[in-house]
Chains A and B, each alone.
Chain A
Amino acid sequence: MSTPARRRLMRDFKRLQEDPPTGVSGAPTDNNIMIWNAVIFGPHDTPFEDGTFKLTIEFTEEYPNKPPAVRFVSHMFHPNVYADGGICLDILQNRWSPTYDVSAILTSIQSLLSDPNPNSPANSMAAQLYKENRREYEKRVKACVEQSFID
């Protein structure tokens, strides 16, 4: 059955294949266009470098009027990522615009890895270390990077 959300997701997928942004990839799962798997590669010159972080993206029929639910499957240590992998990012909540597509979502999360916002913490420990003990923060992040090879 074709609905506006499904039609739009086919378009998003086509665009992601034809014009793939650097360092991110994503595709619908085999049987369900409403659930996607994605990978974000840790940005260069950040402690996340070399990591391959897996995510799931779940859309509802209200997409693109409402944002999808995006969640890291890989274990993350980041000020704006909850323990369950949920992400605290304005464009996935109150600043969502129907003009964003999957490509824009993934690149925004990628830049969140480079530029955490410790003032709106989802992981208070990560936020505190990011602000007060950058070395320990980077050590914890690097552990996630190594973990991401195994996952």
Chain B
Amino acid sequence: MVIVIMGDEAKNSSTATEDVSQLNQDELIMAQQRQIEKEISETIPLVGDLENILLLEHEYSNDDVYQEKVKNLAKKYKSIRRTRPDGNCFFRAFSFAYIERLLDKKEDFDAFYKKTAKSKDDLVELGFQQFTVEDFYDTYLDVLKRVGDIAEVEGAKTELHSLFNDQGYSDYMVVYLRLLTSGQLQKEKDFYSCFIEGHTTVEDFCHQEVEPMYKESDHIHIIAACAALGTGVRVVYMDRGTGKAVTEHDLPEGCVPSVHLLYRPGHYDILYPI
């Protein structure tokens, strides 16, 4: 989600003094951004509860285009789980939904655990600093282990949901997926460089747009995150565009998606097929 950071408050204080450049603009902007984030975090959970898909109609009670699209969506999907719009929504939604899905099938979960256990060495080999990567890796594996140890599937899912709403764990899960995504982009940089606009290198792109928290995800992040985890995702686009139907995109193309996400401009939520 896009957060406009130049609000009135920052503007007033900068015109109040004559020498604008001497005033620490960065801190004013950051303070205001923190205030906006605080308001969002007090109202929307990191990963919400399952909700009936038709509840979406309430959001668009005066909007025929969207009403029609929600009805269309309800033919394929029974529920939705919202995520907090903090710029991490894709990574958080994808990470949560994929692990939740893996819990249904023990063999798949175990295979993913093994794959993830090896991932730290790959990142270190790519030049990531072992000392800091370890911190996130340990937490990621700890979460997998804690939910994997619960024999009963529903109980494991409840624990996963609760860990993903604990800011400490949840954000570390997001960071580690961001690092895996960055690693994937750098490992296949010849391929991915074609998708990056301008003269930015893949490394710079990763430092600016992938690794920092709260940076929104684009197509390229999704493709690389899917490749890093070895899975595919279906993104269902719902916007004001013409036509009654929502548009579906499978990433990578032709995959059998394990995760379904609803995209409304600037934000991803998790969808559950019928």
Contacts and interface: CB of A to CB of B under 8 A. Distances in A.
Interface of A: 3-4, 8, 11, 15, 62, 64-66, 69, 82-84, 86, 88, 93-101, 104, 121-124
Contacts of A86: 24, 26-27
A101 B24 contact: no
A82 B23 CA distance: 7
B208 A95 contact: yes
A134 B24 CA distance: 25
8 contacts: A4-B168, A8-B135, A83-B22, A84-B24, A88-B26, A98-B136, A98-B212, A101-B132
A49 to B, nearest CB: 26
B133 A99 contact: yes
Interface string B1-34: 0000000000000000001011110110010000
Interface residues of B, number: 26
Given A15-B131, A64-B132, A86-B27, A99 B21 contact: no
A148 B55 CA distance: 63
B250 interface: no
Interface of B: 19, 21-24, 26-27, 30, 128-129, 131-133, 135-136, 139, 168, 171-172, 175, 179, 207-208, 211-213
A69 B27 contact: yes
Given A4-B172, A86-B27, A66 B213 contact: yes
A65 B132 contact: no
A99 B128 contact: yes
Nearest to A89: B26
A66 B38 CA distance: 14
B208 A94 contact: yes
B22 A93 contact: no
B27 A99 contact: no
Given A64-B132, A65-B171, A95-B212, A122 B21 contact: yes
B212 A96 contact: yes
Contacts of A124: 19, 21-22
B169 to A, nearest CB: 8
Contacts of B23: 82
Contacts of B208: 94-95
Which 9 residue pairs spanning A and B have beta carbons closest together? A97-B211, A86-B24, A4-B168, A124-B21, A99-B132, A82-B24, A83-B22, A65-B213, A98-B175
Nearest to B207: A95
Contacts of B21: 121-124
A97 B22 contact: no
B64 to A, nearest CB: 39
A101 B129 CA distance: 10
Nearest to A104: B129
Contacts of B129: 99, 101, 104
Given A3-B168, A98-B175, A82 B22 contact: yes
A99 B26 contact: no
A84 B26 CA distance: 12
A93 B24 contact: no
Nearest to B213: A65
A20 to B, nearest CB: 14
Nearest to B27: A86
